[in-house]
Structure 1
């Protein structure tokens, strides 16, 4: 690979034995993946951010308002300059001793002080209309990605034969469908990382941010090393669960309970089948076992499979919480009391005086919700 960082692109690290970058040069009929194919990914990611802003403001927000999605918080905390100073400069979550001191200083009850801080924390969260617009954008783009991949990739003759993922590796030519899919996927995940500071903050913010990083690395690495066949399979089986997830959240914010429940069921089933069954027993098995037998290991091979292992660990992390949610539903009266599929921070999203808030006040516990599976 002709680059000023030739030492970095060492053939012995990136490619199998007896293969060099010079062997992977394009000709009139064959094209191989090259890093320069992604030079326009960052500009396109910025374009996606602009398109997202337009979509959320002029399409998703009016739609949400028409569906009755709340545009304001259900309750607003009464301003108290003294507590506000403590909240902004000292702590958002005072401990027991601090609360006892505030009870004496304000002549309030313990319940009143705890309630003020809880409602003040909740007031910092985005309102439901903002969460609705975010879910609509992700649902729309994930739907596009899945429709594109499911329409184009399974038509490849190698898609249904796992051994063909490695025979004659790395001399696997690519076409426009594969390059476009990688381009759209990588641009989207970069846009998600750039937008992370302004998006809804949830309990699994850091695992989700790490997921975006490792997904981007996996896309880049599989492209450079020409692991594109196994990479395309990973894309196909991972995007479908996110379509169900984001639609379930959007319907939940709009209070379309039946559709939200159906989409959640689709999310749980697709997540289990695609990410807990197919991903480890087909994809990882092919990448670790079949490839070892056919092409043999090399340094980049270990790194690539390490990324797959991290992705699997994240899938198991989210599946643990999904399983808890499913068990909770089976033991209760269904989803009628559930809020968002992923919780936003640790605080209740319920209105003052609701059943959920009374539970929080009585038990001092927070309502458990499901993290995102993407």
Structure 2
């Protein structure tokens, strides 16, 4: 076991890259101030089975708790039309879920023997079948709400009495000889396992409009948690996780009441979430946490590759914060000045909604175009009849004059 660990440290955990100059893994492992727990990469192995346990616990929670709660709160699912099985259209839908072009529609008409309107209607209903129900989205949001609320409450209680919670310069006092408390260790392991479970379930969860940004956020968070623990940057890492957890449970609670149709409660929670998000992610995070990792760190150690790697991940998170803050401010603007929040701008809406709306718009345009064509044809018929009538009158007048 020691030989494998030495090999990993030689090729992956190189001290010259990950640690400040003059600091070794042995200093972190044996040099804690009071002989407490010291971080080691092997401690994170437990995260994989714990992530699988989170997945099993989640599905049990959704069936035993979330689904009965959704019925209690009045969550209702839309009744969707089931399409007639058509192998050709099903194969096209599986291969390409967007709206078909004119050439593709012509090919499908020949293969299926259906009209263009029938094909578009079939694809429209087929897309609706794959859209997750409100109950499914409510269950996902309730699971995340319970986790974020419990973790945030526990971490706030454990960190409020620490010196680095109030003065971020304390994050670097005595580094690398800093002991890790048991509460901080389990905070790290729980957060890392939870984000691993989210990444493993990304294919079965509701696909949202910010799907790519969520993937980047999960990957950056996993790397940040793992690296900060192995390098014993636990103090600043706990602050990063606490800042993120402070607003996440508010967002998930707003989603829950949105799916239940409690509009006033949802809007109130969303306004509270927006205020907390903007303060913590655009003020506290960059001005306190990022500042201490960029500026205060240089008072203790000169820059090294791990310094740039850690700050790069933090800046990636900050860029995502700015992107989500822009979406939130748009929603707040519409809520305050227009009086409502548009559905397609909520972060929890699926990407398929826009496609379905586009299909409805296309169908409505076809109806209008058909009505217009019928009016034009009737107008043309009237013009032809009028011409024939005038021509007959002229011929009759000519005959009378000749007589």
Q: Report matched runs for 1:1-374 at 5 Å.
A: 3-7=6-10, 8-26=12-30, 29-71=35-77, 73-79=78-84, 81=86, 83-89=89-95, 91-99=97-105, 106-107=114-115, 109=117, 113-335=119-341, 341-347=347-353
Count of residues in Structure 1 that have an aligned counterpart in Structure 2 = 357
Range 77-86 or range 216-225, more displaced: 77-86
Structure 2 gaps of 5+ residues are 367-403
In 2 relative to 1, CA 16–101 (structure 1 residues): closer, same or farther, beyond 3 Å? closer
Alpha-carbon distance in structure 2 between the residues aligned to 1:301 and 1:151: 29
CA displacement, residues 53-102 of structure 1 (integer Å, 9 cap, x when unaligned): 1100111011112322224x433154262544432355542124545776
Whose helix proportion is higher, 1 or 2?
2
How far is the alpha carbon of 1:329 from its aligned partner?
A: 2.3
| TM-score normalised by the chain length of structure 2 | 0.80
Alpha-carbon distance in structure 1 between the residues aligned to 2:107 and 2:22: 73
Q: Is the Cα contact below 8 Å between 2:168 and 2:292 reproduced in 1?
A: yes
Aligned-partner SS, 1:39: helix
2:400 paired residue number: none
Alpha-carbon distance in structure 1 between the residues aligned to 2:306 and 2:43: 20
Q: Is the Cα contact below 8 Å between 2:331 and 2:345 reproduced in 1?
A: no
Q: Is the Cα contact below 8 Å between 1:245 and 1:264 reproduced in 2?
A: yes
How far is the alpha carbon of 1:49 from its aligned partner?
A: 1.0
1:368 paired residue number: none
Aligned-partner SS, 2:185: helix
Structure 1 gaps of 5+ residues are 365-374
Aligned-partner SS, 1:40: helix
In 2 relative to 1, CA 336–207 (structure 1 residues): closer, same or farther, beyond 3 Å? closer
Range 185-194 or range 88-97, more displaced: 88-97
Q: Is the Cα contact below 8 Å between 1:201 and 1:344 reproduced in 2?
A: yes
